[in-house]
Amino acid sequence: MTQWLDEAQQQHWRAWLAANTLLLDAFSRDLQEAHGLTMADYEILVRLSESADWRMRMSDLAEATLSSRSRLSHQIDRMERAGFVERVACTDDKRGYFAVLTDAGWDILVAAAPCHVMSVRERIVDVLTPEEFAALGNASKRLLDHMGADPA
């Protein structure tokens, strides 16, 4: 038997869903308009910039960005054509590849980061109290843990 959401739960669920959708759209729009990047591009650039030698195995990058390997492969193809990343074969595993951040990828990330941070601050950090922002982070982490995801 299905236990339906009560009225308050329904309101919280719909508010979270709408806020999540609108926030992601706004972050993508800001990056696209100012730097020609999608949120997926930006996330990949960030992950690579935080990795040793600016490189990650494609399978690890897919997991870190919560993306399917197929979707990531297409994304990397586009980013490679733009000159932001390159794909390099693994020497110890002939079937594996690394995604490697290029200097051009680093430059666009450095240029785009202030825009993205301002967008996050304007739409979330400065809207919520520090306690609300911490609660949002804690609740999100709990949901990720429950789903077995660790994109940190």
pLDDT in tens, 4-53: 999 999 999 999 999 999 999 999 999 999 999 999 999 999 999 999 99
Joined together, the tokens standing for residue 61 give: 């990058």
Q: Give the containing element (helix H, strand E) for 85.
A: strand 85-89
Asked: is 37-146 a CATH 3.20.20.70 domain? The reply is no
Q: Give the containing element (helix H, strand E) for 140.
A: helix 130-146
CA atoms of 87 and 100, how far apart (whole Å):
6
Report pLDDT digits (tens) over 77-130. Answer: 999 999 999 999 988 877 789 999 999 999 999 999 999 999 999 999 999 999
CA atoms of 45 and 49, how far apart (whole Å):
6
The answer to whether residue 62 scores a pLDDT higher than 80 is yes
Neighbours of 60 (CB within 10 A): 15
- Give pTM, 2 decimals: 0.89
